[in-house]
Structure 1
Amino acid sequence: MTTRSANFHSIADGVYAWQPQQRGWGLANCGLVAADGAALWIDTPYDRTLAGEFLARTRAVLAPGTEVGRIVVTHANGDHMWGAGVLPDAELITTREALHHIAYEPTPAQQQALLDGLDRGEDTGAYLHEHFGCFDWSGTPPVVPDTVFTGELELRVGDIPVQVSSLPPAHTSGDLIVHLPTRSTVFTGDVVFGSTAERPGDHPVHWAGPLGNVIDAVERLLDTGAETVVPGHGPLLTRADLRGHAGYLRYVRDRAHALHAAGATAAEAARTVIDENRYPELGLPERLLVTIGTEYRHLDGTEPPAMLEVVGRMAHLARQRTRAAADRAATAATATATA
């Protein structure tokens, strides 16, 4: 089961990052911008307990009387948005396009009921309990944005300008990035999943795509000139790390297109890319089923399947890979014992 601990630290004058120290589903990075008696959050943790911890750490560094008045949500996945309920009076800001993803995802109550009702002996139930069983959404109301926009939004937190830019469909149908030009810092949301040699991350998962849009978003992040990159998950990145991530995305896109042209199904293409093992340090390779499946939908012009069907495919592949690894280990142990 996923464990939960987070590091809250200053990354620039008036800018803080709240970063879970484990990798895995649902453990998103969040940000705080504070200056001159004003404060803004960038994303929120997945459930009220984690969000309460982020809020306590936030209040510990704010000047007396300062409250978090606004929350900018980079996209509408629950692990970046559902913790907003701990700040009921804050203005919640996201893209107009994010409303489509809110309609696609289950509500917190629906997700909790689904998790509670699944059989842990089945692939899907075992997978969801392993990766999401540490979260608690009971009593969490649906989160509704107060302000939506398309294009560019200029905000200020005291003397700190905050440039918020919506993106074409990429990780979801409604992503945005947050650039703090006077702090040389950018928050990427999940158009970037962080990984470094010192702290490897997980394979990205992209629901909307196409991957060309995700790559363009990374190039747009580089164009900001920011030196500090806060990805949606994983460690802080440098510009060199960001370029490396673009290389990963191009590899997955190019292999998906080549395998599609060769007649492979999306599932066959995902398994092929996983078996090529170009990025062995990354966890959760089953997520390539989603990302490559998304790319295939753009190539074929088909609609996305139901969320639970997608999760079921990932769960089945993860279980197959776990069993295959166990069989290989057992075979190796037997060979050593009889040698």
Structure 2
Amino acid sequence: MSITGGDVVDLGTGLYAWLPPQRGWGLANCGLLVSPRGALWIDTPYDPVLAGQFLAESRKRLPEGVSVDRVVVTHANGDHFWGAGVLPDAEIIATREAREHIHYDPTPQQQHALVTGSDPATPLGAYLGRHFGAFDWSATEPVRPTTYFTGELELTVGDYAVEITALPPAHTTGDLMVHLPAQRTVFSGDVIFSSTEDRPGDHPVHWAGPLSNVIGACEQVLATGAEVIVPGHGPVLDRAGVREHIGYLSYVRERAHALHAAGVPATEAARRVIAEGRYPALGLPERLVVTIGSEYRDLDGTDLPGVLQVMSEVAAVAHATELTVTGGGPE
């Protein structure tokens, strides 16, 4: 099994979005900004194979003598970050807060060993193999940012301004958004996951929260006045699409708070929200385990558990949901 290809969308004025060929865990959008005097990536694909494909597409659009010499990382999840190894000489820019999430996630080779070494007969092993088995990090060394910042940072790529703003804890503890005023575009990272009628997406997954911060980050995106929004995953949106996404986030937040007040445990709350079927076109509903769990932890004042524990709960809910849909399970 392998993942190849991807759509390159010309957003005008030297700006491009690279959209993966399918939806699912680890398949993130990336950006390329090109000028006669330099080029910049916004995020990277997950593994060296996909990153090499994005690099090949980038080089087709670079003027002679220009290379991609900077990468802005919207957050430290590997699917936006680990592919930077194909640009070994590039400056890698992230928020200072992103360090915390770098330490939370496994290294690429640790994740590769976990995916390839897990028992496929268990819910977790089967889930990891199905959703992450197509990626190869066997030879991927950890990537470290070279430039950290707090607050705001403004760069120039040729004549184009690149306005980078750190966000409060939302999808992770180190999110940022990238505003390109000349192109009237924002790359939001994973504070926005999108879905449209002709290109359905997946349920968001938020590791930090609370959801009020995620909603606030979406409103910051709109406050830039940008007309084009490239989310972390899913199709490119207009402003109305961002407002629709805020509606989704508000629904999940309201249900999480109501179920928390009723004393329903977090994982059971996720199961109940999944069963409501409010957004049937979205894939990976089991990811609500993570997002609702994050909301509960904010309400309770508790810390994020280990990633393996969280993914085990996600896999268990996915397994149970599949049995319910197919009518399988014990006689």
For residue 237 of structure 1, what is the aligned residue in structure 2? 237
- Deviations 1:112-139 (Å, cap 9, x if unpaired)? 1111210111110000000000000011
User: d(CA) in 2 for partners of 1:191 and 1:248?
Assistant: 12
Aligned residue for 2:51? 51
**8 Å CA contact retained: 1:5, 1:22:** no
Residue aligning to 1:68: 68
Asked if the contact 1:18–1:31 (Cα under 8 Å) also holds between the matched residues in 2, the reply is yes
Alignment of structure 1 residues 174-185 onto 2, 5 Å = 174-185=174-185
Unaligned runs of 5+ in 2: none
Distance 1:71 1:267 in 2: 37
Q: Please list the CA deviations of residues 69-118 of structure 1 after superposition, one character each: whole Å capped at 9, or x if unmatched.
A: 10000000000000000000000000000000000000001111111210
CA distance in 2: counterparts of 1:258 and 1:322, whole angstroms: 26
Q: Give unmatched runs, 5+ long, in structure 1.
A: 329-339
- Judge conservation of contact 1:2–1:131 (CA < 8 Å) in 2: no
Matches within 5 A, 1:78-227: 78-227=78-227
Distance in 2 between residues matched to 1:294 and 1:4, nearest whole Å: 33
RMSD (Å) for aligned C-alpha atoms: 1.0
* Paired residue type of 1:308: L
Deviation at 1:158, TM superposition (A): 0.4
| Counterpart amino acid of residue 282 in structure 1 | L
- Asked if structure 2 preserves the Cα contact closer than 8 Å seen for 1:36 and 1:159, the reply is no
Identity %: 62
Taking the TM superposition and a 5 Å limit, the aligned residue runs for 1:294-305 are 294-305=294-305
CA distance in 2, matches of 1:125, 1:283: 20
SS of 1:292's partner is helix
Q: How does 1:6-45 map to 2 (within 5 A)?
A: 6-45=6-45
SS in 2 for 1:304: coil
Deviation at 1:175, TM superposition (A): 0.2
The alpha carbon displacement at 1:14 in A equals: 0.2
Q: TM-score, normalised by structure 1?
A: 0.95
CA–CA distance in 1 between the matches of 2:303 and 2:49? 35
Deviation at 1:2, TM superposition (A): 7.4
Q: Give, in whole Å, the separation in 1 of the partners of 2:9 and 2:277.
A: 34
- Residues 2 and 135, structure 2, Cα contact 8 Å, conserved in 1: no
CA contact (8 A) 2:3 2:50 kept: no
Report how far residue 12 of structure 1 moved.
1.7
Q: How many residues align structurally?
A: 328
Which residue of the partner structure matches residue 247 of structure 1? 247
Distance 2:300 2:327 in 1: 37
SS at match of 1:137: coil
Bigger radius of gyration: 1
Within 5 Å, give how 1:258-297 maps onto structure 2: 258-297=258-297
TM-score by length of 2: 0.97
After superposition, give the CA deviation of every residue in 1:222-246 in whole Å (9 maximum; x if it has no partner).
Answer: 1111111100001000100000000
Q: CA deviation at 1:4?
A: 4.0
Within 2, Cα distance between the matches of 1:240 and 1:112?
Answer: 39
Matched position secondary structure for 2:39: strand
What is the Cα deviation at residue 268 of structure 1? 1.6
